[in-house]
Structure 1
């Protein structure tokens, strides 16, 4: 699957690593409501071009998953800053 790497020069490999690191950092640095969004740009960094469509849970199951995710943040990041910034329609431009 990663045979394309075998043909890249050292400089091309370094450029690829930098590109991938930038994408990972962008995803890592998501915060607030951005944590909830679908991030196709992250897997768009891969050389194989596909458009995987996720299975989207029905609302009750989806909201239970959101609650569990938020609970996991309480457990894993108990000292992280909290915000009460409301969700705004501009947040949907992801």
Structure 2
């Protein structure tokens, strides 16, 4: 699957590493409402092109998942600043 790496010279491998790190940092540095979004641009960092067939939860299950995710932020990052800013504002 990653045979393309075998053909890269040192400079190409360094460039690829920097490109991947930039994408990971962009995702990591997402904040506020962007934390919950679908991120296909992260998948696009991979060389293989696919059309991921995602499964979308029903609304009730989705909302329970959102609530659980938000609770996990309280558990994992109780010191993080809070905001009352609405989505899209």
TM-score computed with the length of structure 2 as normaliser: 0.97
- Tell me the secondary structure at the aligned position of residue 79 of structure 1: coil
Distance 2:25 2:8 in 1: 23
2:83 maps to 83
Compute the displacement of 1:53 (Å): 2.4
1:42 maps to 42
Distance 2:53 2:73 in 1: 26
1:74 maps to 74
Q: Which structure exhibits the higher relative contact order, with contacts defined as CA atoms closer than 8 Å and separated by 6 or more residues?
A: 1
Q: Structure 2: 5+ residue runs without aligned partners?
A: none
Q: 1:16-51 deviations in whole A, cap 9, x for unaligned?
A: 000000000000000000101100000100001012
Distance 1:29 1:51 in 2: 25
Compute the displacement of 1:64 (Å): 0.2
Q: Structure 1: 5+ residue runs without aligned partners?
A: none
Q: 1:26-85 deviations in whole A, cap 9, x for unaligned?
A: 000000001011000001000010120211000000000000000000000000011100
Segments of 4+ moved more than 6 angstroms: none
How many residues in Structure 1 have an aligned counterpart in Structure 2?
89
- Tell me the secondary structure at the aligned position of residue 82 of structure 2: coil
Distance 1:44 1:50 in 2: 9
